[in-house]
Amino acid sequence: MTKDWDIIITNKSNLLSIDFGEIWRYRDLLAMYVKRDIVTFYKQTILGPLWFVIQPLFTTIMFMFVFGGIAGISTDGIPQAVFYLAGLVCWNYFQDCLSKCSDTFNANQAIFGKVYFPRLVVPLSIVISNLIKMAIQFALFLVVYIYYFASGIDFQINAALLLVPVLIVMLGCLGLGFGMIISSMTTKYRDLRFLITFGVQLWMYATPVIYPLSVMKETYPKYIWVLVANPLTAILETFKYAFTGVGEFNWFYLGYSFIFTITILIVGIIIFNRVQRNFMDVI
């Protein structure tokens, strides 16, 4: 007498393989994780989802006071609020994806050891839930943008706006790729978790969030290659250029960022698939 099993769990040898069909079968679990990530963020808080708006708003005000006022860093003629918000919307999404994905194995080791489901569901849920948060912050950016546009600021809107969805996907994939790599490494090297927060903060200053790329070209032309090598540089510069017409829009830089994103995502998937097989024995 033979039995027809609904699910067959096998140890696949292809480290790059992703069973999208299996992930689709667990779409309810994915939706539950997305809901959990959003609800737990503002559970038992007074202001609730307003924190999604308050954080970038007050950070922008601080940047305007410190970097725009005291330091006098140029924003290439763009209103400071628009410039800083544009950078923060992109940066916050990448940072949240990276930071939370990098703790996938450690934060879920209890459930991973008891129940089977595609482990990739967890980091994917983080990227999707943070996308909702980014949508709220992007709406804030549009409100500020429209205010200045109505006030007479001549923003040179251009066809690069069509690339904005691609830029957002690239940010999510970068955060997912780096997050899976770091999460896989921290199962064996726990002290790497302490370097994540510090490293991400340093990374922000190596990304044109609070300054335009043109300023660095004028001030430190010999070291501009360091910023260009940063895959986030072209993404943020293109995002700002799309809405304002000011910024470094270079197809070569953007192509490099795209290839880098695909590469880091593939590497992340390979390492993640390898570690998920025996990480319970290590952790």
pLDDT band at 144 (very low <50, low <70, confident <90, very high): very high
Q: Do residues 230 and 170 make contact, with C-beta atoms less than 8 angstroms apart?
A: no
- Token pair recorded at residue 120: 């990739």
Determine, yes or no, domain membership for 182. yes
In a domain, 201, yes or no: yes
Distance CA(16)–CA(266), nearest Å, equals 7
pLDDT reported for residue 115: 74
Q: Please check the confidence at residue 46 and state whether its pLDDT lies above 70.
A: no
Phi, psi at 103, each rounded to 5° = -115, 20
124 near 30, Cβ under 8 Å? yes
Of 41-45, 83-87, 234-238, the range with the lowest mean pLDDT is 41-45
Tokens at 141, concatenated: 């950016």
Which two tokens mark 79? Answer: 């209103």
Q: What separation in angstroms does the CA of 164 have from each of 4, 57, 236, 274? A: 46, 21, 10, 33
Query: Does residue 20 fall inside a structural domain?
Result: no
Range of the domain at 221: 27-35+43-282
For residue 78, pLDDT over 80 is answered with yes
Per-residue pLDDT, 246? 87
Q: Which residues lie closer than 8 Å to 47 by C-beta, 6 or more apart?
A: 54
The answer to the question of residue 178 being in a domain is yes
Gap between the Cα atoms of 145 and 245, Å rounded: 13
Q: For residue 8, is pLDDT > 60?
A: no
Residue 271 lies in a domain: yes
Distance separating the N- and C-terminal Cα atoms of the chain:
40
Examine residue 214 and state whether it is found in any structural domain, yes or no: yes
- For the chain, what percent of residues have pLDDT higher than 90? 34
Closest CA to 130 of 163, 179, 84: 179
Query: Which residue would you say has higher pLDDT here, 153 or 112?
Result: 153
Q: How many domains does the chain have?
A: 1
Q: What is the mean pLDDT of residues 206-223?
A: 85
The 10 Å Cβ neighbour count of residue 15 is: 12
- Domain membership flag for residue 6: no
For residue 177, give the nearest of 110, 266, 95 by alpha carbon.
Answer: 266
Residue 11 lies in a domain: no
